[in-house]
Structure 1
């Protein structure tokens, strides 16, 4: 019962709404089947599969709201949940920023579901683990990895007539490979909607190569270096920037998009002119549901065009206050890149550092988007277009705004955690100290 069809979900939501005595009511219904397998020290440690189905009811009286949740679906339990939400709403204080619920909308259809992923079973998971562990054993390396596959649906409806439904699948795989002496480490992560695109053996071989190549790392002096950020590393900083494009924070002077003396920097060229970032729920490589969880449609939206910020994300309340369109934040985003491969970016580098990924990233200054963190699992020195030797990991202090002004080249975008990100070649990236972590 965990994965309901659109018709089954609507039937339950309509039944719940029929019990309502509130001024307004909204219902969200979610269900999932999630499987996983985890391994460490070249041995599977856990595996399993879980099913979940849950319903949340929000009742509203004026500007007072209350929410109740349940995972039982007989009529008596559903009505009890509605009454509980109504009772909580009557006791709640008024929310001065409450916005009335939205009426019916038309949402774009996104290809977020793949039957191949929905069909994943324990045999598939065991084969992924074997394909990752076996080659590591043969090379006297140690693998630790995790595979998670999910089939899920999200449905929502309200007393104003809005209804939305989306069914999706995802498969996420990551593995860390260590050398026998523990001094070398490699990492790779892959995620797709369609599991037929995942090749755990090939992915693990990349991590193996990094682990073997990163043994006996040398120390380099901290400073400013040309870096090549693999997509996993590039995403860590760019994603933080994309999470910080809230219009209210900018208007209230609390963000990198705030202008001194008031106003925002919307429409200003803040980045290299080659930087273009947009969201599109229908993108075939990074599809997303056609609606946000407050019922607004997700549409193709340009956030950055030729280095110029074109849009900010608005809550419905703040958009009304400012008299602008209420643009929801991006569910996922696509950064346009170039045509070069990672190998070609390396070949074009006279002196630089290749970064596999970052770790333990923390904000230093939200108004400049300055972050600090560590490199990890494969950091290498490049000279005359070739990887010369592994280097000890660094701590960095860098802002994605500065980083994307120091852009030298971009490669072909690949999918990372649901987004499309190219490898980036950046000059003057700031490393502040060394780290003994592998």
Structure 2
């Protein structure tokens, strides 16, 4: 029962709504099913399947609201969850930020659901993992990895007549390879809606090459370097910035988008002219949800255009307070790139450092978005357009905003996953000048 189609979801929520006595009532329904395999030291360690479905009811009397949730769906349970939400609403204080529910709307269908991914079996996952393990063995390395496929749906329905439904699929794969001496390490991560695009063999070979090539790393002095960030490294760095595309946090002085003296930085030249960041739920390489939790449609939106801040997200409440049109947070993020391959970016570099991956990134200063973190899984010195040798890992202190002011070149856009959230983005490899490394790390 975990995955309901549009008609089944709507019928169930209509039944729940029929029990409501509140001024306003909103029901949300979500289901997920899928499976995973985790492996380490070239052997599968765990495997499993998951199937969950839950329903939440938010009832409101005036500006008082209460929410209750269930994961059982007999008639008595449906009546009980509505009664509980109404009971909580009557006990709750008034919400000064309460906004009325939206009425009927039509939403375009997302392209995020792929039948081949939804039909993945334990055997399919095992076969994908076997290819990875065999590739690691062939390279005389030990592999540790994870593969998970998920099919999910989301639906909302309210007493004003709004109904929205979305179904999608996702498959993620991460692989770390190391030599037996613990002196070389490589990583690759992939994420797709369509499992037919996932190639675990090639990904593992890339990780293996990184591991074998990173042995006998030399120490370089910390300082400012030209760096080439591979997409998985750039994604993890930039994800921290994407979370700041919110008008309220900017207007209240809590983010890097806050303007000195008050307000936000819409209209300001914040980054290099090469930087274009937008969202588009209908992009064929990265389809996303077409509506948000408040019932607003998601459309293609420019956030940064030629380095200028064009838009920030406004919730319904904050939009009403500021007298502007609501602007939902994006369901995906895309950064334009160039025509160069990673290899061509390396060839164009006189002296620099190739960064395969960043990890353990933490916020230092919210106002400047200064971050600190470490390189890992293959860091290499570039000289005269060639990779000369591996180097020891660095700790960095850098802001993605400053980083995007120092863009020298961008490569071809790739679909990349964040190792923090496992969300997918379209991000190019990027060549950045004056990237700040502050100290060395002995970790590999």
Give the structure-2-normalised TM-score.
0.98
How far apart, CA to CA, are the structure 2 residues paired with 1:233 and 1:325?
Answer: 35
How far apart, CA to CA, are the structure 2 residues paired with 1:103 and 1:241?
Answer: 33
Show the counterpart of 1:434: 440
How far apart, CA to CA, are the structure 1 residues paired with 2:331 and 2:240?
Answer: 13
Report Cα offsets for 1:117-145 as digits up to 9, x if no partner: 01110111111111011121122200000
Q: Does 1:275 align with 2:275?
A: yes
Shift of the alpha carbon at 1:383? Answer: 0.8
Shift of the alpha carbon at 1:294? Answer: 1.9
What does 1:352-371 correspond to in 2, within 5 Å?
352-371=352-371
Between 1:246-255 and 1:421-430, the stretch displaced more is 246-255
Between 1:188-197 and 1:126-135, the stretch displaced more is 126-135
Show the counterpart of 2:299: 299
Three-state SS of the structure 2 residue aligned to 1:425 is: strand
Report Cα offsets for 1:41-64 as digits up to 9, x if no partner: 000000111111111111111111
Three-state SS of the structure 2 residue aligned to 1:298 is: coil
Shift of the alpha carbon at 1:260? Answer: 1.5
How far apart, CA to CA, are the structure 2 residues paired with 1:108 and 1:395?
Answer: 45
What does 1:25-44 correspond to in 2, within 5 Å?
25-44=25-44
How far apart, CA to CA, are the structure 1 residues paired with 2:55 and 2:262?
Answer: 43
Three-state SS of the structure 2 residue aligned to 1:86 is: helix
Q: Does 1:390 align with 2:396?
A: no
How far apart, CA to CA, are the structure 2 residues paired with 1:251 and 1:212?
Answer: 49
What does 1:54-69 correspond to in 2, within 5 Å?
54-69=54-69
> Is residue 412–residue 429 contact of structure 2 (8 Å, CA) maintained in 1?
yes
Shift of the alpha carbon at 1:248? Answer: 1.3
What does 1:73-84 correspond to in 2, within 5 Å?
73-84=73-84
Show the counterpart of 2:420: none
Three-state SS of the structure 1 residue aligned to 2:117 is: helix
How far apart, CA to CA, are the structure 1 residues paired with 2:113 and 2:83?
Answer: 35
Three-state SS of the structure 2 residue aligned to 1:355 is: strand
Three-state SS of the structure 2 residue aligned to 1:85 is: helix
Between 1:110-119 and 1:253-262, the stretch displaced more is 253-262
Shift of the alpha carbon at 1:435? Answer: 0.7
Report Cα offsets for 1:269-306 as digits up to 9, x if no partner: 11001111110111111111111122111111110111
Three-state SS of the structure 2 residue aligned to 1:8 is: helix
Q: Does 1:135 align with 2:135?
A: yes
Three-state SS of the structure 2 residue aligned to 1:345 is: helix
> Is residue 232–residue 416 contact of structure 1 (8 Å, CA) maintained in 2?
yes
Show the counterpart of 1:414: 414
> Is residue 294–residue 316 contact of structure 2 (8 Å, CA) maintained in 1?
no
Report Cα offsets for 1:213-256 as digits up to 9, x if no partner: 00111110000000000011111122111111211121122221
Shift of the alpha carbon at 1:309? Answer: 0.4
Report Cα offsets for 1:156-207 as digits up to 9, x if no partner: 1100100000110000000000012111000000000000000100110000
Show the counterpart of 2:213: 213
Report Cα offsets for 1:78-106 as digits up to 9, x if no partner: 01100001101111111100111111112
How far apart, CA to CA, are the structure 1 residues paired with 2:197 and 2:45?
Answer: 25
Shift of the alpha carbon at 1:331? Answer: 1.4
Show the counterpart of 1:6: 6
Cα RMSD (Å): 0.8
Three-state SS of the structure 1 residue aligned to 2:36 is: strand
> Is residue 279–residue 301 contact of structure 1 (8 Å, CA) maintained in 2?
yes
Segments of 5+ residues of structure 1 without an aligned counterpart are: none
How far apart, CA to CA, are the structure 2 residues paired with 1:48 and 1:356?
Answer: 31
> Is residue 156–residue 163 contact of structure 2 (8 Å, CA) maintained in 1?
yes
Segments of 5+ residues of structure 2 without an aligned counterpart are: 418-423
> Is residue 109–residue 282 contact of structure 1 (8 Å, CA) maintained in 2?
no
Report Cα offsets for 1:346-390 as digits up to 9, x if no partner: 111111001111111111111111000001111111111111111
Three-state SS of the structure 2 residue aligned to 1:58 is: strand
Q: Does 1:379 align with 2:379?
A: yes
Show the counterpart of 1:179: 179
How far apart, CA to CA, are the structure 2 residues paired with 1:167 and 1:97?
Answer: 30
> Is residue 32–residue 150 contact of structure 1 (8 Å, CA) maintained in 2?
yes
Between 1:424-433 and 1:98-107, the stretch displaced more is 98-107
Three-state SS of the structure 1 residue aligned to 2:204 is: helix
Three-state SS of the structure 2 residue aligned to 1:182 is: coil
Q: What number of residue pairs does the alignment pair up?
A: 438
> Is residue 110–residue 167 contact of structure 2 (8 Å, CA) maintained in 1?
no
